[in-house]
Each structure stands twice: as structure tokens, then as C-alpha cells.
Amino acid sequence: MQPEPAWSLPVRVTHWLVASGVLINLVNESGRQHRWIGYAVFGLVLARIVYGIFFPGLRSSRFYWPRWHQVRQHLSHLAERRESPLQGHNPLGQWAVYVMWALIALLAFTGWLSRTDRYWGEDWVVDIHVALSDLLTAMIVLHVTAVLVVSWLQKTNLIKRMMTGKDS
């Protein structure tokens, strides 16, 4: 019997498309292309949420609300340099996903809001959008750093898992 893949194809595709769209928009900070990529990224996040709720398939695709005892257990596994038995995101990774998705949703909303007749030219809407973008950038740096650190501590290749779907 084949082992269950670490990540399903829809999860991997949406992950890398969202990551690419966010990176493109961080470099291309305005204009029509920025808006449409932002809306597409938000659509991909919604598609991933729908997939996780209605087509969970693999355990790694399912959502869960991490409990504090799970966070402590995960940190204990890291301290012992052993791999977590969880499929999918560890508890801190799951929290990070929820935060990044919320930031993407708020970025789409504030980006759209800044283009409406009522708020066109209002600096505060753009300022909020920029602050959210900065928070998302910080979360991305934290996410990538955590992936590298956890990969090193647990002697596993989390990036390869997200690219191939395979554990080894």
C-alpha cells in the first residue's frame, strides 16, 4: 500500500500560486495588474478553504483549530529534534496559515475599498492596505524561516514535501 502523500496536488498548486501572486504584488505595488493578481490570490485562498472544508481527502488538507497543548507538544518535539507525528501543518504553522489568509482577505478588501467612489483618494484606506502588506511580508519571512528551521531541526525537507507531495 502506498503511503499517503504529505500534501495533495490542489493544496500544493494553491500554495505556490498564492505565494507567486503575493510575491509579484509585493514587487508590483500598484496598477491594474496588481489589483487583478490580488483578487486572484484572494480567490485562490477561498478555493483552498472550500477544498479543505468540502473535499478534505488527505489529513494534511483538513483544517483544525490548534490547542495550546498541541503547541507545547510541537515545541517539545522541536526541542528533542524529532519529527512531529502530525500530518500537514504543525500547530504553529496552522495558526500562521490562518493569519496569512486573513491578511490576504483584508488586503483584497482594502484594495477594493480604495477604488470605490466613496473612498477614492482617501489616504487612510491606502495606509491600512500598506500596513497589512507589511504585516503579510513579516508573516512570509516568519513562515519561510520557520520552514527552514523546522526542516533542519527535524532533519526533513518541508520544501520538497510542498513541491512533490512526498515525504522523502
Residue 2 lies in a domain: no
Q: What local confidence, expressed as pLDDT, does residue 163 receive? A: 87
pTM attached to this predicted model = 0.87
Q: What local confidence, expressed as pLDDT, does residue 106 receive? A: 97
Residue 158 lies in a domain: yes
Instruction: Report the domain count for the chain.
Output: 1
> pLDDT means per 10 residues in the chain (168 residues)?
71 94 90 94 95 77 84 82 70 92 97 87 91 97 92 84 78
Residue 1 lies in a domain: no
Q: What local confidence, expressed as pLDDT, does residue 108 receive? A: 96
Q: What is the 3-state secondary structure (H, E, C) of the chain?
A: CCCCCCCCHHHHHHHHHHHHHHHHHHHCCCCHHHHHHHHHHHHHHHHHHHHHHHCCCCHHHCCCCCCHHHHHHHHHHHHCCCCCCCCCCCHHHHHHHHHHHHHHHHHHHHHHHCCCCCCCCCHHHHHHHHHHHHHHHHHHHHHHHHHHHHHHHCCCCHHHHHHHCCCC
Domain membership of residue 86 as a residue range:
9-164
Residue 149 lies in a domain: yes
Residue 3 lies in a domain: no
Residue 126 lies in a domain: yes
Q: What local confidence, expressed as pLDDT, does residue 1 receive? A: 47
Q: What local confidence, expressed as pLDDT, does residue 57 receive? A: 67
Residue 78 lies in a domain: yes
Residue 4 lies in a domain: no
